[in-house]
Amino acid sequence: MNDLAERTAHLRAFNRFYTRLIGVLDEGLVGTPYSLGESRVLYELARGRVREVTELRRRLGLDAGYASRLLARLENRGLLVRERSETDARRQTVELTEAGRAAQAELEQRTDTQIGDLLRTLDDHDQQRLLRAMGTITGLLGERPRDRTLMLRPPRPGDYGWVVHRHGELYAREYGFDATFEALVAGIVADYAAAVGGEGTGGAARQAAWIAELGGERVGSVFCMPGADEHTAKLRLLLVEPAGRGSGVGRRLVAECVEFARSAGYSALELWTQRNLTAARRIYTAAGFVLTSSTPHHSWGKDLVAETWRLSL
């Protein structure tokens, strides 16, 4: 089975699991006589954001025939009324009756109870994990535009492990590096954490690190650490997640590192990279770094060309 087919199967399996879990396939939703489609109509109308049938169909993604049958069933039960629009006779408006509002209130209460009971089977940590996972799904597949606010912050507990994990995973997937690369990253991170004493950018006057967040999700990192002499700093562990690429994350991280090195009194900033890391090299060139040397080597299971770049501050 190829990757796409396997992922499709996983997504379909999740859909079957979740619809079974919340009882979508039951005769009535949460013990009421209303189907999922009818319940969604009642919910949208109760919110008061839609009155025209065409807009209701658009919001729910319903074709004209199915929408008409849903509305007719609810109208026959006395839960809503349909009328011709006062401004355009070709359009039809729809509104809940008092009985419809009462039915929607009962649906809301029963649904809250069902979901509350489900959440109570999990401890607080797992509830937070569940909500983050659902937020990820909504952000990736939902219609609402995702928050693309970029923020740089000092590392917090858990961030160091994330930097090591994501370097190991991404470089293995994208460049074929083996586990010895992850070990190298772990050593650099350990050295930094020991030097700053767990105080983020404030633990040592001449080194700092930043975690980039895009819409509240971690998408990158960079470290500024002492170099070979007291006048030179080193830019290390620049990482940009696939979700952050094309949003200026790498440029912002490098710019922050440059400004910190300058303000900390360094006269130069150096970095060590590999020739095949073309996206990073473009960022360094744009920031004014100059290639000063290159050396072929075999590391992390690959034949590579190491490069040293330097920026005078």
- Which residue, 141, 175, 203, sits at the end of a domain? 141
- Judge if 308 and 258 occupy the same domain: yes
The confidence score (pLDDT) of residue 29 equals 66
Least confident of 19-23, 117-121, 210-214: 19-23
Give me the residue label for tokens 């039809």: 92
Residue 147 DSSP class: P
Q: What CA–CA distances, in Å, run from 34 to 25, 26, 30, 82, 93?
A: 12, 10, 9, 19, 21
- Judge if 158 and 127 occupy the same domain: no
* Structural domain total, the chain: 2
- Judge if 185 and 295 occupy the same domain: yes
- Judge if 99 and 167 occupy the same domain: no
Residue 249 half-sphere exposure toward CB, CA atoms < 13 A: 28
- Beta bridge mates, 269: 233, 311
Is residue 203's pLDDT more than 70?
no
- Judge if 121 and 233 occupy the same domain: no
H or E stretch including 95? strand 92-96
The confidence score (pLDDT) of residue 274 equals 96
- Judge if 187 and 259 occupy the same domain: yes
Q: Are 71 and 92 in contact (CB under 8 A)?
A: no
- Judge if 191 and 241 occupy the same domain: yes
Per-residue pLDDT tens for 108-139?
888 888 888 888 998 988 888 888 888 778 77
CATH number at residue 173: 3.40.630.30
Average pLDDT over residues 2-10: 81
The confidence score (pLDDT) of residue 149 equals 82
Give me the residue label for tokens 């979508």: 24
- Judge if 97 and 124 occupy the same domain: yes
Q: Are 220 and 211 in contact (CB under 8 A)?
A: yes
Per-residue pLDDT tens for 135-168?
778 777 775 555 678 899 999 999 999 999 999 9
- Judge if 88 and 162 occupy the same domain: no
Per-residue pLDDT tens for 67-118?
888 888 988 999 888 888 777 667 888 888 999 899 888 888 888 888 888 8
Which residue stretches of the chain are H helix? 3-21, 36-47, 53-60, 64-76, 98-119, 124-141, 159-175, 179-196, 249-263, 278-286
Amino acid sitting at position 81: V
- Judge if 112 and 137 occupy the same domain: yes
CATH number at residue 47: 1.10.10.10
Per-residue pLDDT tens for 25-55?
555 666 778 787 888 888 888 887 667 888 8
Give 120's contacts (C-beta < 8 A, 6+ positions apart): none
The C-alpha atoms of residue 280 and residue 276 are separated, in whole angstroms, by 9
Range(s) of the domain holding residue 26: 3-141
- Judge if 307 and 164 occupy the same domain: yes
- Beta bridge mates, 81: 95
